[in-house]
Structure 1
Amino acid sequence: MRQLNVLIHQARPYHQMLLHQAFNAQGVYSVRVTDDVPTATARQRPVDVLVLDQRMPRGYARRLFKYLVQASCAGGLLFVGCAGAGEMDLALEARQYGLNVLAELPWPMSMVGLEQVLERL
């Protein structure tokens, strides 16, 4: 498998650490963590997998989706977590923007689920 370039954008540092370790355990070592996706994607080669929190604020998510469409800098999105009661499923909304959603994995994330996503890539 070619080396994937992964960018993790999560609000919780504990989740950032667990996700980073999960990718490393799957043999993916080109993993970065950011709190600013536009800055992180402008500096380096395009991202193969952008990991996003399903519970990020909707307004922020919409601005991020618009940026991702305009910049064409993310190969695929991986959403982790579940939408709260009465909240819009951000993965569905990302698809409506025309973004490539690779998968939605519940939290805590399954290593088997992550492995299956990576195998499809």
Structure 2
Amino acid sequence: MRQLYVLIHQARPYHQMLLHQAFNAQGVYNVRVTDDVPTATARQRPVDVLVLDQRMSRGYARRLFKYLMQASCAGGLLFVGCAGAGEMDLALEARQYGLNVLAELPWPMSMVGLEQVLERL
């Protein structure tokens, strides 16, 4: 099995750390954290899994989705967390942009759920 490249784009440092550890626990060690997806993806090979926060702002998410479509730099998106009351489900919106959404996992994230996502890759 090839080694996956995972990029975590998460606003909360505590969540960044937990996500990083969760991937490591699943045997995925090529995991990076970034504040700036375009810069991170321009420097590296294409990302196999881009982990995104379901609660990021809709305006920012739309700009990011447009970038991801144009750059073709992410194999699949993994959304973590749940949309707030009255907020748009960003995973649904990403699908409408034509992006490959691997899964949506609630927070706190299930290790079994993450394992199932990784098995499908």
TM-score (norm 2): 1.00
Deviations 1:8-54 (A, max 9, x none): 00000000000000000000000000000000000010000000000
Superposition deviation, residue 120 in structure 1: 0.3
Q: Runs of 5+ in structure 1 lacking a partner? A: none
Q: Please state whether the residue corresponding to 1:62 is helix, strand or coil.
A: helix
Distance 1:2 1:112 in 2: 21
Please give the per-residue CA displacement for 1:61-115, whole angstroms capped at 9, x wherever unaligned.
0000000000000000000000000000000000000000000000000000000
Distance 1:26 1:2 in 2: 14
- Structure-2 residue corresponding to 1:18: 18
Query: Is 2:69 the partner of 1:69?
Result: yes
Give the TM-score, by structure 1 length.
1.00
2:94 is paired with a residue whose SS is helix
3-state DSSP class of the match of 2:62? helix
Q: Which residue of 1 aligns with 2:82?
A: 82
Runs of 4+ in 1 over 6 A off after TM superposition: none
Gaps of 5+ in 2: none
SS at match of 1:56: coil
RMSD between aligned alpha carbons? Answer: 0.3
What is the deviation of 1:2? 1.4
